[in-house]
Amino acid sequence: MRVPSPVQLMLCALVGLSLLQGCVENPVMQPQLGSGDLLEATIEGEAYSFELNPDVTDYETQYVYGTIGGSTNTLSVKSITVTFSYDIDNDPLPVTLDHPKGGITLVLTNESGEDVSYQTVSVGNVNVHLSATDGEIIDGTFNGTLENTRDPNDKVTITNGQFSARLNRI
């Protein structure tokens, strides 16, 4: 009976190890997510940070509808709400949504101290980009041109919007 040489044994061991390496299950990569407490946007060229409101930052699993809302203490900008209609549990991300699947509502205070509401009213005027989620936190960006709900000629532009929000699942 012939005894394998040390070189042959080494080659067999290397081949065996490489075959075993191919059998190792690769772990599923979890998305890199933000802190869950970010909501900011540039409105008409001025940057604003909003405090997330947990009472209106939620995801309705039955209706696959999400709302991310926040407010500020500034005099002219009161609140912003970003909405999306998308199954974040089963459909792939990233995805960019336009009206009516994605929307933005903004409340400003005019010179008279009255609240003025601006919102998404037509296709092509807004983008809500959902980039990643773990089911609890969702990250994304948004931008668009919103119209005054009482005067369609009065418009507001939002750029550089981004969020990392902790969702209440309801």
Per-residue pLDDT tens over the stretch 141-155: 999 999 999 999 999
Q: What is the mean pLDDT of residues 48-67?
A: 96
Does residue 130 sit within a domain?
Answer: yes
φ/ψ (deg, to 5) at 128 = -120, 115
Does residue 72 sit within a domain?
Answer: yes
Asked whether 37 and 166 are in contact (CB, 8 A), the reply is yes
Does residue 11 sit within a domain?
Answer: no
Does residue 113 sit within a domain?
Answer: yes
Residue 5 has pLDDT above 70, yes or no: no
Q: What is the mean pLDDT of residues 86-112?
A: 95
Quote the number of domains for the chain: 1
Q: DSSP letter for 24, please.
A: S
Reading the block at residue 34, the tokens are: 């933000």
Alpha-carbon gap, residue 55 to 118, rounded angstroms: 21
- pLDDT score recorded for residue 14: 47
Q: DSSP letter for 122, please.
A: S
Does residue 41 sit within a domain?
Answer: yes
Coil, helix or strand at residue 161: strand
Does residue 4 sit within a domain?
Answer: no
- pLDDT score recorded for residue 75: 80
> Which pTM does this prediction carry?
0.81
Q: How far is CA 20 from CA 8, 9, 38, in A?
A: 18, 17, 44
Does residue 23 sit within a domain?
Answer: no
Higher pLDDT, 29 or 89: 89
Asked whether 60 and 31 are in contact (CB, 8 A), the reply is no
Higher pLDDT, 121 or 29: 121
Does residue 50 sit within a domain?
Answer: yes
- pLDDT score recorded for residue 122: 85
Alpha-carbon gap, residue 62 to 148, rounded angstroms: 31
Q: Residue type for 24, please?
A: V
Domain containing 157 equals: 37-169
Asked whether 52 and 34 are in contact (CB, 8 A), the reply is no
